[in-house]
Structure 1
Amino acid sequence: MKRMLIAGLLACPLCATAVEQFPPSATELRMLPPFCADRLEKGSGGKNVASAARLGKANYLHIHHYCFAVNFVNRARRAHDQKDRIYNLGLAKSNYNYVIKATEPRFWMRPQIYVELGRVHLQLKEAGDAVRLFNDAIRFNPAYEPAYHALIDVQRQSGRAKDGLEVATAGLQRIPDSQSLKKAYLELGGKEPFPEPVAKAAPEPPAASSAPEPDHADKTATAAVAPTAEGTAASDPPPPGDSAPVPTSGCRYCPPEEVQRKWRESFGGAEE
């Protein structure tokens, strides 16, 4: 009977994944950001937990789903079977979407979450959703560099160097000292001098409400700095008070510089 059970699991990788424990194992937990251990081992209250203070109480309550999502991406990367890989990517997508819906609309980790979820969509051959999420990240924080690189990669893989150059140009206008964006700009046909940086607008204080955003899947896909995966430019009106399309408009939704600094210092290693 034992031999028959083992043989059945080996013959059905999807079934094998289904019986694997849902939360990260102790070994997997060590590969995740430190706040994951805090949330999964110390509970949801967050009393006297430094990471809970950094994330905000309302966000800390739900952040374990982000940890689950990253862990499922890691499991998908290790998978030897395509069905097993797709199964784990599907679980990652569900957990990323949960975090987007449940956390505060101005949660400063959102650009990172958007980009990571966008990369999951790319692995699932859902390029249109990926492009929309990368642009969501830029609209939230036009200085979030990984979102520009993610869009550039999509355009390069699609053979649209001109569109990739537009993305690199927009990125350099916001992050003029980025050596990697300068390299991409030149590789895609840009010429020196590099684009002039745009003036930084003062960040707007986060909204007081902690109500979650509408379901991310219901939002219209946009391409603020690049065409969609199908090659047609999508338009999205800027938020009230903005005078130009993002990212060349004022940084209406950027978190304060101090928050961005803490983000880079504490959570930069969580990105892929």
Structure 2
Amino acid sequence: MNDQARPSTRPFRFGVVTPVDSDLRTWRDRVRRIADSGYSTLLMPDVPTWQPALGPTLATAAAITDLRIGSWVYAAALREPWSTAWEAHSLSVLTEGRFEMGIGAGRPGIEVELGLPAVSAAERRARMRETVAALRRFDGPDLHTPVVMAVSGAKSQALALEVADAVTFVLSAEEGRAETAKRAGDFSGGRDIELVQHISAVGDGVAPYMAAPDLDTAALRAADSLLILPADPSAAAEEIQRRREEIGFSTFVIGANFADTLAPVVADLAGR
């Protein structure tokens, strides 16, 4: 990325995808520990039938901590725009502006697995656009719910540039640092849009709900993929700072199973 295209330096923020994968008391204790460790945002995956619904679970987390909350991410293949926007707006109102709406197309085939009709890529993008438009109508002039859009191809990237506040790139396991840097550098379109990095793996571990469990961490390292961070906190902190300096990523989203491992990194970098 050349100097003219480089975005302004944003402070570091760290989010944690925290599914309900234990009894409720253990999950609530984990949420409180995440808040106490300096993470900014607690996020929930949109995986119907696997765990409690996203909306009420996020509302519960917001009620027991001061964390920001968010969807990571609403799957357009599963959701109708009007009802999704109403839920997002309602979470913004009930948390007094602490909700961030993450939205994406949804994993290919997820709707068919759940017994729903197949949804084309074009229809998924149309639903994403309609959801954001409806959210803006619900919010009105006095509220602005931040929208983070998960994007892959050129058409979804163009949509994000038009309607989103932040973007996270859907990366393949084979995509290396140079390819991701080029994608980010070509993306901005003159807008200073927040770049969010989705982290699927730390060390040799893979985060549930953020990648297939058989993701090859050795292959990620060999490809110089940005989907992985070192398990050593000092090395992870250096890598995170490099990604902001060289590419512009300022917000990093990890799995809850890595929250304790990277807590020293968050304590050092959050807000800087």
Query: Which category describes the TM-score, using the shorter chain as reference length?
Result: under 0.3
**Which protein has the larger Cα radius of gyration, Structure 1 or Structure 2?**
1
Bigger RCO (CA 8 Å, 6+ sep):
2
Q: Which structure: greater strand fraction?
A: 2
